[in-house]
Structure 1
Amino acid sequence: MKARFIVLLSAVMLGSGAFAQDCQTTAALAYDDAKAKNYDAAYEPLMKVKDECPDYSLATFQYLAMALNYKIGKATGDEKTKYINELIDVYKGRLEHYPEKTKKGDIYGDIALLKFTHKIGSTEDRFNAFDKAYTEDKENFTSPKGLYAYFDLMVNMQDAGERELQDVFDIYDRVMAKIEEEEINEADRLQPLIEKQDAGEDLTSKEQRAAQIAEQRLTNFNAVKNALNAKLGARADCDNLVPLYEKDFEAKKEDVSWLRNANARLSAKDCEDPLFFKISEALHQLEPSAASAYSLGQLAEADGDRAKALEYYNEAADLEDDAANKAKIYYRIAQNYKSSGSFSQARNFYKKAIQAKPSYGRAYLNIADMYADSANNCGETSFEKRAVYWLAAEYVAKAGRVDPSLSNHANATVAAYNGRAPQKADVFQEGKKSGDAIQIGCWIGETVRIP
């Protein structure tokens, strides 16, 4: 009996070894084909390894996803549908067998994009696929295209009468908040690299690549924001919003959640309507918050009471926890100070806006604009006064890098400012050279180096 058990155990072990050896050989050949982008040859062996030994290596799922994407691109009709379903199965299999090396948000987002791109299932099915990516792993649902599709599908459902306008606003707010969060993350990665370059240091090849990726991601997110706003279009105009909220105000005037949503939408569009004041005041009484204080500041500003507006805006900034929203409040305060000629105060709040949201390019532009306006007042000599334009050009250049939507304007403005700054002959006559520091006086109080 004992001898028989040993024979059976040996047979099992030999079989297991042969099975593992077969997987190893098949996988190695398939991986070589996939690396060479010979996906037609790699496809069937990779499917075999996935089905028979899915725990062999994560590479099986990675290469198989590449192979299937290739085959989907070439196929049509039922064959394409087959490959799409297989790719969805591969994504799910990766998550099942390698959860520690797989981000749910990435996987669910990829599945949703696959369904969206190839129009698989109903509009609601596709929307729910993106909603799953967002709700189950918001942190890693970062695809610009996926975020746009998430909103686009909701708009389509609302157009078809399957959703309410408020549902569209809710998803818009959700997606825009996520995009702003990602913009802050990318700008945070880019900022130290810009500062290193500003200090005259060269970036390593790795740092250059990191800067390129961050700038491209910022460009992509900016494009999505523009597309979202175009898609939202007239739906969010005051002419539509006011009647929408007015009909429910009396019934909802003590509903904090309803007031908060209505206030946010009316505030975003600067709807100077009596309803906006009633909603903002009701919300501030029930639940004083950054949003309600900001809205009351907008109304005070519209009435011409700048002092009261600034009081409310500062209250809003103190109450606000979200970095992007806090930046918006600081920017509004800065704009008020700038328009009244209080440039130093304005700069303080523009810099607070940048600190809260490093991708706030318009804050850099406004600082540059104030510097340029002050050039004739900041310096003892013509050379010193014109040197202010170098400093203004630096701020404009930063604006274009952190916010790609401003890049064309920034490039033109940098050229204009540099044209007003001292030229090579002026630098030579002044007895100075490239890299020398010039101290800018008056309220600016900064140093600029000769380019």
Structure 2
Amino acid sequence: MKTRLTILTAVLMLSTMFGVNAQTKESKYGVDSAKTVLNASLYSEMVKQKNYKDALPNWRYVFNNAPKFQRSTYSKGVDIMRSMFVSTKNPKYIDTLMMVYDQRIKYYGSNRKYPTGWILGRKGGDFFTYSKKEPVLIKKAYDIMKKSIEIQGVDSEAAVVNKTMEAGKLLVLAGKLSPEAVIDDYLSFMDLLKNQMEKYPKKVTNIKAAIVNVENDFFAAGVADCETLSNIFTPKFEANPDDMVLINKIMKMLNRQECEDGALYAKVAEQKYKLEPSADAAHNLAKMFIKKKQFSKSKEYLSKSIGLEEDAEVKADLHFKLASILLMEHNLVASRNNALAAIKNKPNWGQPYLLIGKCYAAGSKEFPGKMHEKQAVYWVAVDKFMKAKSVDPECAEEANKLIQTYSKYFPAKEEAFMQGLKEGETYKVGDWINETTKIRLNE
């Protein structure tokens, strides 16, 4: 009762200020300012109490008679309609919910913070969530959300991107959307979410969750396996072999799904390098030859890609791949040099340090000198493993395993005593390694 008296007092004051029935239909207060304020106050109080059923008549008056009164008419209207539908399952509330969004666009679509594109995303998302999961209705929701993403771009809500991918999955499974359309959505959505990570660092948790959901929905759509991708894109590529937009799309998709060993990948990768001999094109060919275990060819194209690449992180990855192949071939000096180049381009990456340690360990048996000099190589190997986890915590688990494995090969104290070696003293490992370390001994 006290609340109603307070509201009534406020209404009487406004009546004095504006004059009851003095407003025209063009006014944000409608034709009766006092009645508008009274109804708005009443339904707002009921919404706070989550009494949506009783709030509905007062809200409806403001919605119908003073649509420009305040933006909260629409945000609270959404809450009311959602609640009424959940409690009654009556589809008329979904229709009204859509009207709420449409009217908000009409009167508040130019709002900077919540513009038309944002409102469309909420509208499509709610339609997808609350309407029946019938293909025709899913398609309607999908189209609304796609329009929102088209308008909003990187400012799209992650939840809207997520729901659009889910809707696309359901549509392709129902035969109402082409596999290529779902692939296009997946590629553009993943790029969009990646860009959002950079623009909105405070929303990283939500964006990461959306990325996981988009990935899961895409795989569940049944168009992600290499055979399906080949069936979709082979005829398109053969019909348009010089279309770089198509070629880049195919390469992006095949790379994401690790389809480097297929016939389509070979054709498209070679054509891309022929038309556009870029670092990316050379890298694609290198990955193909790695998958086919044709390592001399892969080294050739990795070297070409390194020479053309300008991005430091990508260059680091290329050097690391080349170093890995060289280690496998026991070309230890060249392997270490490429790992060092990777570190130079990406200093806080631990994997190249692990690789250098493995190079040292692999060269211990053939290292020149006496037994303790060969064993000393494990000191510098372990140094690299320790360095790896110090710069890159993600490497800690692997680094710890390698440290445990190779520490067993340190010289024994008794043998070290005979060679004049003392725990903790500085020691120089020469030859091609040429590094200074500390003596560590086993019992």
Using the alignment, how far apart are the partners of 1:311 and 1:70 within structure 2?
A: 62
Give the drift of 1:368: 8.2
Which of the numbers 123, 126, 150 marks the counterpart of 1:114?
126
Give the drift of 1:304: 0.8
SS in 1 for 2:32: helix
Bigger Cα displacement from structure 2, 271-280 vs 57-66: 271-280
Give the equivalent residue in structure 1 for 2:52. 39
- Pair 29,164 (structure 1): closer, same or farther in 2 beyond 3 Å: closer
- Pair 283,29 (structure 1): closer, same or farther in 2 beyond 3 Å: same
Give the equivalent residue in structure 2 for 1:262. 250
Give the drift of 1:443: 12
Give the equivalent residue in structure 2 for 1:172. 186
Is 1:395 aligned to 2:392, yes or no? yes
Give the equivalent residue in structure 2 for 1:344. 340
Q: Deviations over 1:378-432 (max 9, x none)?
A: xxxx9xx899859826732xx5xxxxxxxxxx99789999999xxxxxxxxxxxx
Using the alignment, how far apart are the partners of 1:142 and 1:367 within structure 2?
A: 37
- Pair 392,374 (structure 1): closer, same or farther in 2 beyond 3 Å: farther
Give the equivalent residue in structure 1 for 2:301. 309
Give the equivalent residue in structure 2 for 1:130. 145
Is 1:103 aligned to 2:111, yes or no? no
Using the alignment, how far apart are the partners of 1:278 and 1:67 within structure 2?
A: 57
Return the TM-score normalized by structure 1.
0.63
Is 1:90 aligned to 2:94, yes or no? no
Mapping of residues 33-72 of structure 1, within 5 Å? 33-72=46-85
Is the 8 Å Cα contact of residues 81 and 97 (structure 2) preserved in structure 1? Answer: yes
Q: Deviations over 1:251-270 (max 9, x none)?
A: 32233333333333333323
Q: Deviations over 1:153-196 (max 9, x none)?
A: 3344333444433223212212222222223334xx3xxxxxxx
Give the equivalent residue in structure 2 for 1:150. 164
Bigger Cα displacement from structure 2, 146-155 vs 333-342: 333-342
Give the equivalent residue in structure 1 for 2:408. none
Is the 8 Å Cα contact of residues 149 and 156 (structure 2) preserved in structure 1? Answer: yes
Using the alignment, how far apart are the partners of 2:106 and 2:279 within structure 1?
A: 43
Give the equivalent residue in structure 2 for 1:220. 209
Is the 8 Å Cα contact of residues 313 and 333 (structure 1) preserved in structure 2? Answer: no
- Pair 118,70 (structure 1): closer, same or farther in 2 beyond 3 Å: closer
Aligned length, in residue pairs: 356
- Pair 415,171 (structure 1): closer, same or farther in 2 beyond 3 Å: same
Return the TM-score normalized by structure 2.
0.64
Same amino acid, percent of matched pairs: 15
Give the drift of 1:95: 2.3
Give the drift of 1:91: 1.8
Using the alignment, how far apart are the partners of 2:285 and 2:385 within structure 1?
A: 38
Using the alignment, how far apart are the partners of 1:42 and 1:297 within structure 2?
A: 65
More helix, by proportion: 1
Is the 8 Å Cα contact of residues 316 and 346 (structure 2) preserved in structure 1? Answer: yes
SS in 2 for 1:236: coil
- Pair 374,34 (structure 1): closer, same or farther in 2 beyond 3 Å: farther
Q: Deviations over 1:63-115 (max 9, x none)?
A: 22222222222122x3xx11112122212222222221423333212211222
- Pair 217,245 (structure 1): closer, same or farther in 2 beyond 3 Å: closer
SS in 2 for 1:272: coil
| Amino acid in structure 1 at the alignment position of 2:246 | W
Q: Relative contact order: is structure 1 or structure 2 higher (C-alpha 8 Å, sep ≥ 6)? A: 1
Is 1:184 aligned to 2:198, yes or no? yes
Using the alignment, how far apart are the partners of 2:181 and 2:150 within structure 1?
A: 16
- Pair 46,239 (structure 1): closer, same or farther in 2 beyond 3 Å: same
Rg (Cα) greater in structure: 2
Is 1:141 aligned to 2:130, yes or no? no
SS in 1 for 2:50: coil
